[in-house]
Structure 1
Amino acid sequence: MTQAEADSTLPKFVPDWEDEPCPQPMLPSASPERRAGLTEGVRMRENPAEWAFVRLSKLIEDFEKGLDRDEEIAAHLVGGPGDATMQIEDVGFWGPDFIMFTGKNADGRPIRLIQHYAQINVLLNARKKPEEREARRIGFQLSELVEKTNPK
């Protein structure tokens, strides 16, 4: 086996999803069209952190669709100190196991949360944007990244 073949071989504990479509979320109050929209064009990923990131980015984008123009996404980090609310500026992953959130805390100071994909608990909420700028939307940026890395 060449090094290239060894590098492309999945570890035994990772399933090979090939063209397996993304399962739809179970949201009883959501219409079938909304559930399908969350998974449109998304394929399952072998990397667990990337797979968690893909679904999280779709949920963020869906949540942002319901925000007023003066609101932007924030998160309450379940299990964090104090109210543990952060303004989310970016979400990423470092496979195979980390999900990363960057943003600002309630005092406007930069913060980064590094979370294991199996322990992620994030309560998305809305917060008023600062008066001096338009509300920022990150969902579409995350979706562009998901599209670029989507298995063919």
Structure 2
Amino acid sequence: MSKSKAAAVATPPVFVPDWGDKPCPKPVLPAASAAQTAALMDGVRMRENPAEWAFVRLSKLIEDFEKGLDKDEEIGARIVGLPGDGTMSIEDLGFWGPDFIMFLGKNADGKPVRLIQHYQQINVLLDVRKKPEEREARRIGFQLSEMVAKTNPK
């Protein structure tokens, strides 16, 4: 292989900076206490994969949002571009690097939906909705945190 081809293969694309061991930047939330900020950052390291990096931070924000819900409430989302009222119940979150974030859940009619967004296009308004009477409220934040921990760089 020529020297120029070897350099091209070894060089990451421009959109994937080499963060190495760089710590996560602190979130800036005006009303957050130092303890809340520390909880959001707990165990989070920056990722080279932009979709994974967005997933990690979304997971932490969802977990933090769920802490304020009562036993009869669960997380939902209002997402620009969804049909109808643009709301969905979020049941899971995933990513497919380097660029897709996936929201999985149900629409207002209870039908399955999967929203696939480019990590640079994410605009999600987390909202609260009453859980169905027949079951306990779901919490996905801790499951997402487990996934983040499994993919956390050492």
Larger-gyration structure (1/2)? 2
Whether the TM-score (by the shorter chain) exceeds 0.5 is yes
4+ residue stretches of structure 1 with deviation over 4 A? none
Cα shift at 1:22? 0.7
Cα pair 1:102 1:110 within 8 Å, conserved: yes
Residue of structure 2 in register with 1:94 after alignment: 96
Cα RMSD for the two superposed structures: 1.8
Q: TM-score, normalised by structure 1?
A: 0.92
Query: Cα deviation per residue 1:122-147 (whole Å; 9 max; x = unaligned)?
Result: 00001000001000000000000000
Give me the TM-score of the superposition, normalised by structure 2: 0.91
Structure 1 position 10, deviation (Å): 5.5
Whether the 8 Å CA contact 1:73–1:87 is kept in 2: the answer is yes
Identity value in percent: 78
Partner of 1:30: 32
Partner residue of 2:17? 15
- Are residues 1:43 and 2:61 paired? no
Distance (Å, rounded) in 2 between the aligned partners of 1:9 and 1:74: 42
Aligned to 2:54, what secondary structure does the other structure show? helix
After superposition, residues 37-116 of structure 1 pair within 5 angstroms as: 37-116=39-118
Q: For 2:146, what is the secondary structure of its paired residue? A: helix
Q: Which blocks of at least 5 consecutive residues in structure 2 are unaligned?
A: 2-6
Q: Which runs of 5+ in 1 are unaligned?
A: none
What CA distance in whole angstroms lies between the structure 1 residues aligned with 2:94 and 2:78?
17
Which amino acid in structure 2 is aligned with residue 113 of structure 1?
L
Once residues 58 and 43 of structure 2 are traced to their aligned partners in structure 1, the CA distance between those partners, rounded to angstroms, is: 15
* Structure 1 residue 150, shift from structure 2 partner: 0.3
Evaluate the alpha carbon distance shift between residue 84 and residue 18 of structure 1 in structure 2; reply closer, same or farther with a 3 A threshold.
same
Q: Distance in 2 between matches of 1:12 and 1:60?
A: 30
